[in-house]
Each structure stands twice: as structure tokens, then as C-alpha cells.
């Protein structure tokens, strides 16, 4: 594959990939640019001196090295010194190319090999360890212990749930403690809708959401989770909103085994239900990984997982009786037939994404009142078990709040029979420096 590396001073230099994020950093008094690849194709931790990074905008797929140097020298003849400079620049460009940072033939081959290698693997490795959460089990436990102990202390001192009354600007959310034995005799927990926001941001909501699961011992957990990246692979997932992985999942706590037989049964209807076992969309997805950490922290019994990513169900928002709506019905019917008393369902999704980072013209802070009102209604509809309720609410505003948890939650509500829930947590992350915000909450479903 190295034969495909860029190797010319007269051909156009491949552009820097459009999905590479350039981040200014400082180290020991010197300025650098850190090149971050969220897709995970490039070699991690590539750093350039800031002065050199200034010429990256010349890499536009049109200019050659000769063209770039001519512009930088105001068209003066290059001579031997210029040839040396051209060769030096070529070596740097080849370095960037070799590390997957340029949109070149080498990168396209590397991208294909990365995806094919992932699909052929038996284990899905963690992608958030060391960033969203610590790498060591001991550090994770210390982090989680503090949050769960704090929640337990709050519940002990405030059994009426007054600590939740301000979550929606004074609205009264007073969830019962589903970990109490007398309550568990009356209801059975069947599912949990919980966030997948950065754990460092939303740890308290995670603790409130997952605490009621502590004493459960399901043999199997089906995870219906938001897919953030399936659209990147178009047309690979065209008309296939349900993406199942048959991999075991590795986390710092160990490996969780996949229930492959269940996956095969769930995938049985195939295209008719919009299901695929092509799982490259799982490679860098965080929405399942973060939930698994909390299960492993809370439980010490063996259980298997069924990892399902749910892509955008956009057709439902814009047309009635769409082909996609039929796929959801068939998938939900199949899933319903497979769920038994030993199966718990997790639904992974956040709420609103607003502000300038997400395309709004106004700062997120100007939208908080409307967002909280919308979220309250949305979560109440979900708790009432109303799939059509949350769909109509999304349609009314043309999904202007970008509710990323809609697709997996709608799928669960279409699957569930007689399930009702309670809102157990809610919060909003105000990312003020970027004039943006993400809201997130949880609903515990029982029968």
C-alpha cells in the first residue's frame, strides 16, 4: 500500500481531510497544531509546529509543491536551494499521507482496510477509555463510587424526591425508589432510557438513571442506541436503520459476550425490517460503550449483550405510511417476540442539541426555556409509553431541537407492550464557550 503514497513535486498535493480537526495547543512555551481524527483512521497524536500548519490551506488538491513554493517566494526562481526545500516539503507531505491525514489514494485504501479489519474482528475495543472516562478499572470505580454514593445520600435525606423539582424549572418530578424491595414486588423494570453524553459532564444523571438497576440480574441486555455515524457510510446503510453487531465488547472492566444466537434471530427479517449485521458503524460509536460501563460497575453476575445501533428515522418525520415506518413495525414485532423475563432493554440517547455549534443562529442560552419545555413534554410522552406522542411532537417542530435519542426510544416504544415509565433525571449541559448546549434525561420503564 506504501506505493500509493504521494510522491511528486509537480502533481497537485492531496488536500487535508475535511473531517480532521485542527486544535491549537501549547507545550513548553511553543505553539503547535494537534490534528485530531474523530473517525480513527489516522495515526493518533500527530502534532505539527504552528508555523508549518499555516501552509496547510495551500493543500487544496489543485496546487503542486512547485506552485506552493512559488507563491511563498513571490515567484522567484528556486535553484538548488529551492529543490532542497521542495524535497523537504515532499517528505513532510508523505509523512502526513502515511499517517492518514490527507484525502489521497493511500488514505482511501487505509480507510477500506480499517473498516474491513474491524468487521472481521470478534471483539469491539473501547474507543472512549482515557478520554470520556479513565482507562483503569480502579479509577472508573472511584469516579462512579463518588457519584452513586452521593445519589444514595440524597435519596436517604430526601425520600420525597424534592431534589428533582428544579430540573425543569420548578416542575415536580418525584420518582419512586425502584430499588426498594416492596416496590419491586409490585413492578418489574423492563427498560431504561438513559444518556450517552460525556460521562464527565453527565455523571450525576447517569447515577440517578442507573441506580435502580443495581439489584437486577438479567441474563441478557438488548441495547438500542443512537447511531451518530451511519450516515457517513452512505449508501452502505441505505434503508437499513437497524445495525446489529455480533462482536463481544471490551471495556476496562473486561469482555462482555454477545448473544449471537439472539442477534441472528433478530436479524432474520433482513431488509424487510431494515436490519443488517454489517457493523462498521459500531467501530467509533460511543453510545453503547458508555452504558456498558455502568452495568459492569453495578453487577457482578454474568450476562450477554445484544448491541443494536438505530440510525435516523427521518422518513417518519416527513411522511405518513412510509417504507421506513413499515420497517420499524416489523423490527419492533420481531424484537417483542424475542424479549423474555430475563431480558432488560437499554435505550441510549440524549435530548436537545442547540446553539451555534449545531447550526442555530442564536446562542443556546436564548433557547433554554423552550428546550426545557419541549423536553418535559417529550419525556412525559415517553413515560406514558406513547410512540406516536413523541413522533408528533418531533414532527410539529421539524426536529428543530435535534433529539438524538428519538430513533432508539421510538423503536422501544413501538416494541413495548403495557410499559409505562417515570422520568428519573434531567439536566442540561451549557457549553458556554461555544454558545451551545445539550440536554439529557432518563426514563425508567416498568410493567
Tens-place pLDDT, residues 182-215: 444 468 999 999 999 999 999 999 999 999 999 9
Q: Are residues 130 and 102 in the same domain?
A: no
pLDDT at 167 (0 to 100):
56
Which of 28-42, 52-66, 146-160, 382-396: highest mean pLDDT? 382-396
Give yes or no: residues 216 and 290 share one domain: yes
Do β-strands 242-244 and 275-276 pair in parallel, antiparallel, or remain unpaired? parallel
CA atoms lying within 13 Å on the CB side of residue 312: 16
pLDDT of 405 strictly over 60: yes
346-365: average pLDDT = 97
Radius of gyration of the chain measured on its C-alpha atoms: 25
- Residue 80 has what pLDDT? 54
pLDDT surpasses 90 at 281: yes
**Span 278-295, average pLDDT:** 97
Both 359 and 411 in a single domain?
yes
Nearest to 335 by CA among 191, 446, 232: 191
How does pLDDT run across 341-355, given as a tens digit for each residue?
999 999 999 999 999
Mean pLDDT value of segment 331-335: 98
Query: Of all residues in the chain, what percent carry a pLDDT higher than 70?
Result: 90
Over residues 367-377, mean pLDDT: 97
Average pLDDT score, the chain: 91
Residues 77 and 160 in one domain: no
Average the pLDDT over 359-384 and give the result. Answer: 97
Q: Are residues 96 and 182 in the same domain?
A: no
Hey, what's the cell of 281? 458503524
Same structural domain for residues 176 and 28? no
Q: Label residue 159 by pLDDT band (50, 70, 90).
A: low
Mean pLDDT to the nearest integer, 301-312: 98
54 and 154 both lie in a single domain: no
**189 and 77: one domain?**
no
Identify the domain boundary among 67, 97, 115. 115
Domain range holding 143? 124-446
Of 86, 115, 144, the residue that ends a domain is 115
Q: Are residues 103 and 218 in the same domain?
A: no
Give residue 321's pLDDT: 86
> What is the reported pLDDT for 245?
98
Integer angstrom CA distances of residue 17 from 21, 24, 94, 116, 206 = 9, 17, 14, 20, 35
List beta partners, residue 189. 446
Question: Among the listed ranges 138-142, 155-159, 302-306, 424-428, which one has the minimum average pLDDT value?
Answer: 155-159
Which residue, 95, 115, 135, sits at the end of a domain?
A: 115
CATH number at residue 294: 3.40.830.10
Same domain, 89 and 144: no
pLDDT greater than 80 at residue 438: yes
Q: How many independent structural domains does the chain possess?
A: 2
CA distance 42 to 110: 9
Flag whether pLDDT at 112 surpasses 50. yes
Same domain, 45 and 12: yes
Same domain, 160 and 101: no
Specify the pLDDT at position 186.
65
Lowest mean pLDDT among 47-56, 104-113, 237-246: 47-56
Amino acid at each position: 500500500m506504501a506505493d500509493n503514497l504521494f510522491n511528486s513535486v509537480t502533481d497537485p498535493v492531496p488536500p487535508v481531510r475535511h473531517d480532521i480537526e485542527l486544535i491549537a495547543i501549547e507545550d513548553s512555551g511553543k505553539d503547535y497544531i494537534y490534528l485530531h481524527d474523530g473517525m480513527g483512521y489516522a495515526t493518533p497524536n500527530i502534532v505539527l509546529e504552528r508555523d508549518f500548519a499555516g501552509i496547510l490551506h495551500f493543500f487544496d488538491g489543485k496546487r503542486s509543491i512547485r506552485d506552493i513554493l512559488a507563491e511563498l517566494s513571490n515567484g522567484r526562481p528556486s535553484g538548488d536551494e529551492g529543490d532542497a526545500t521542495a524535497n523537504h516539503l515532499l517528505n513532510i507531505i508523505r509523512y502526513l499521507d502515511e499517517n492518514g491525514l490527507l484525502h489521497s489514494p493511500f488514505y482511501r485504501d487505509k480507510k477500506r482496510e480499517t473498516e474491513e479489519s474491524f468487521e472481521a474482528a470478534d471483539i469491539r475495543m473501547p474507543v472512549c477509555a482515557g478520554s470520556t472516562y479513565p482507562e483503569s478499572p480502579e479509577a472508573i470505580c472511584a469516579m462512579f463510587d463518588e457519584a452513586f454514593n452521593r445519589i444514595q445520600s440524597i435519596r436517604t435525606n430526601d425520600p420525597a424526591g424534592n431534589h428533582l423539582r428544579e430540573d425543569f424549572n420548578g416542575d415536580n418530578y418525584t420518582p419512586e425508589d425502584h430499588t426498594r424491595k416492596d416496590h419491586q414486588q409490585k413492578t418489574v423494570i423492563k427498560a431504561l432510557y438513559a444518556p450517552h453524553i460525556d460521562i464527565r459532564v453527565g455523571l450525576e444523571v447517569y447515577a440517578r438513571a442507573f441506580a435502580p438497576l443495581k439489584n437486577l440480574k438479567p441474563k441478557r441486555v438488548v441495547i438500542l442506541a443512537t447511531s451518530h455515524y451511519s450516515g457517513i457510510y452512505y449508501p452502505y446503510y441505505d434503508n437499513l436503520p437497524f445495525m446489529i453487531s455480533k462482536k463481544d465488547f471490551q471495556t476496562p472492566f473486561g469482555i462482555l459476550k454477545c448473544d449471537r444466537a439472539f442477534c441472528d434471530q433478530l436479524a432474520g427479517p433482513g431488509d424487510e425490517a431494515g436490519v443488517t449485521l454489517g457493523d462498521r458503524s459500531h467501530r467509533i460509536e460511543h453510545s453503547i460503550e458508555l452504558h456498558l460501563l455502568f452495568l459492569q460497575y453495578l453487577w457482578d453476575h454474568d450476562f450477554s449483550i445484544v448491541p443494536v445501533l438505530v440510525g435516523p428515522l427521518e422518513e417518519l418525520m416527513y411522511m405518513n405510511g412510509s417504507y421506513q415506518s413499515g420497517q420499524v413495525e416489523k423490527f419492533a414485532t420481531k424484537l417483542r417476540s424475542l424479549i423474555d423475563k430475563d431480558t432488560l432493554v437499554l435505550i441510549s440517547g440524549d435530548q436537545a442539541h442547540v446553539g451555534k455549534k449545531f447550526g442555530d443562529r442564536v446562542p443556546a442560552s436564548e433557547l433554554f426555556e423552550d428546550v426545557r419545555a419541549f423536553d418535559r413534554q417529550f419525556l412525559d410522552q415517553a413515560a406514558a409509553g406513547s410512540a406516536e406522542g413523541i413522533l408528533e411532537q418531533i414532527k410539529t417542530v421539524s426536529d428543530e431541537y435535534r433529539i438524538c435519542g428519538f430513533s432508539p426510544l421510538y423503536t422501544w416504544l413501538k416494541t413495548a407492550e403495557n410499559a409505562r415509565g417515570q422520568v428519573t433525571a434531567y439536566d442540561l449541559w451549557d457549553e458556554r464557550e461555544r454558545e451551545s448546549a445539550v440536554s439529557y434525561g432518563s426514563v425508567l420503564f416498568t410493567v
